[in-house]
Every structure is written in structure tokens, then in C-alpha cells.
Amino acid sequence: MRGLPVTYKTPLLVLALALAGAGSIRAQDAPPVQALLEPEYLLSVGEVVDAERWRNAEAVVGAAGETMVTDRSQTQFDLVHVPRVVEGRSLVTGDMVQLFRLERRIDDPVTGEPLGTLLLPTGVGRVESLDGETAGVRITDAFHAIVVGDLVRIVTEANAAPGAGFAGEAGGRVVAFQEEKAIHPPFDKVFLRPEVAGSTAPGQVVELYRPGPVRDGVQLPDLVLGRAMVVRGGGGIAAAVTYELERPDLAPGDRYRPVAADGD
């Protein structure tokens, strides 16, 4: 299957356009972020994967672009060279590819159980030339610095789609963030582990919270941290994007629960 014939915009631009006519983020009863379910944005969202699956994946082998930074970093519109055969198929001009790296191991913050490895997208590009055993890929979106050695896969319906799942009543917990930082602003990407596998569906809104402490035998109210929208469901770990935060100190181990469709 050829890569998806989509025209890519930078994810931040997509969000800006989506929010421009939506007013304040906090004023919304429903997330004004339908654009987050489009391939243009989803290809910037990481996944928690089995690293063994990508042990022999093809990688960027060289670069030549406007910035001429070769083995260090690449930016939008630069040209990188990748093997002509990727995932067992010969690339053709017009194919879209995603560049990524296996960033770090993700463990459950409560149980310590290893959940997989973060697949971190670094960019996407389109094949514009073929030369012997390599293909020239023009970067159309760079999410991070793209370096020689970043892995490459063909963009397909499967990896550019939100996946499946069901909007169950069970919640779960936050296990990791795509970007490691102490303070998390709106539109951070977060990974969720549902108590019931597959019980999160793309487009589902969840409330992020921290269970209230017990004092003198009395359970105090939960501390509401904000809301997020699931953008990739299915499997054991779902991906979501925060869009309304009461507190910026959201952390692995915090909890989430579904929000009723009417926002109550």
C-alpha cells in the first residue's frame, strides 16, 4: 500500500487554526480539537511499543538540505536519504514516511511493570527521488531534530489512524508523557493505562485527577487536575492530549476517569 496522499501541516498550526474560532480553551464544554484525530496531527503522537518489533528497522542514512547539518539535526524542508526498501517494500515517489526513534522504556509508575518503549516521532516526509539503493525524502514536518540513524516506516492507514476501542466506564492511570518535564501545559501528549484493556476510544474525554488523601479516617475530595481527549485507543496503552488543565503538575501515577458525553 502506498503512503497516505495527505498534505501535511505542522501540528501546532493545526491546533492554532482549530482554536482560533473556539475562544478560551477553559470555556469549552467539549474539546475544540477535532483536528487532533486527523492524520496530520496523529503522526506527531508517539506510541508505547515492543522495541523488538523495530530491531531491524531501516534508518536515515544521510542528509543534504538547506541547513547542511548532515549527521546532526534536520528541519522542515531538508532532504534526507533513507534505504529504498523499507519494511520489505520498495519506495516510490510520492510515498509518505514517518521518521522516529525509540526513546526510553516506559514502566508503570505504581507497579513498576515494564509496559514497552516510547516510539517518538521526529518528523514526516515525502519521497521525491530515487537513486540506486536510496530514496530522497523531503521533510514536510519536523517534530524534533531529525538525525542520521532515526528509524523510518511507511505511512499507512493503520499508523495514521486513531485506532479502535470502546468508551467504557472504567478509568485508569497516567503512566507517562511524550515529553519529560516538570510542568505540563495544555496540549501535552500523555499515555494512559486503562483498568480494562481497550476501554478508551478515540475522541473520548477523560478527567484527570489525584485521589484525595485520607485524614482522621475521612476521605477528602479528589483533586481535579484537568481534562484530556483520547486520540489513539486500542491495545494496552492509549494516547491522549490534555486540553484543559486546572494544575500544571500532572504526573505519572495520577488517575483518569471518563467524562459523560454531556460534560457532566
- Where do the H-state alpha helices sit in the chain? 11-20, 39-42
Q: Shortest CA distance to 63 belongs to which of 80, 84, 83?
A: 80
Are the C-beta atoms of residues 223 and 138 closer than 8 Å to each other? Answer: no
- Residue the block writes with cell 529504498: 84
CATH fit for domain 11-154, picks 3.90.1580.10, 3.40.630.30, 2.40.30.230, 1.10.3720.10: 2.40.30.230
- Tell me how far apart the alpha carbons of residues 16 and 40 are, in angstroms, rounded to a whole number: 13
What is this structure's pTM? 0.84
Please determine, for residue 51, whether its predicted confidence score (pLDDT) is greater than 50.
yes
Are the C-beta atoms of residues 159 and 107 closer than 8 Å to each other? Answer: no
Those residues whose C-beta lies under 8 Å from the C-beta of residue 187, and which sit 6 or more positions away, are 15, 241, 242, 243
Those residues whose C-beta lies under 8 Å from the C-beta of residue 223, and which sit 6 or more positions away, are 209, 210, 211, 212, 247
> How long a stretch of residues is the chain?
264
pLDDT, tens digit, 9 for 90 and up, residues 129-185: 999 999 999 999 999 988 889 999 999 988 888 887 777 788 999 999 999 888 888
- Tell me how far apart the alpha carbons of residues 169 and 180 are, in angstroms, rounded to a whole number: 29
pLDDT, tens digit, 9 for 90 and up, residues 81-134: 999 999 999 999 999 999 999 999 999 999 999 999 999 999 999 999 999 999
Q: Name the burial class of residue 198, with classes exposed (0-12), middle (13-18) and buried (19+) by CB atoms within 10 angstroms of its CB.
A: middle
Instruction: Return the bridge partners of 240, or none.
Output: 190, 230
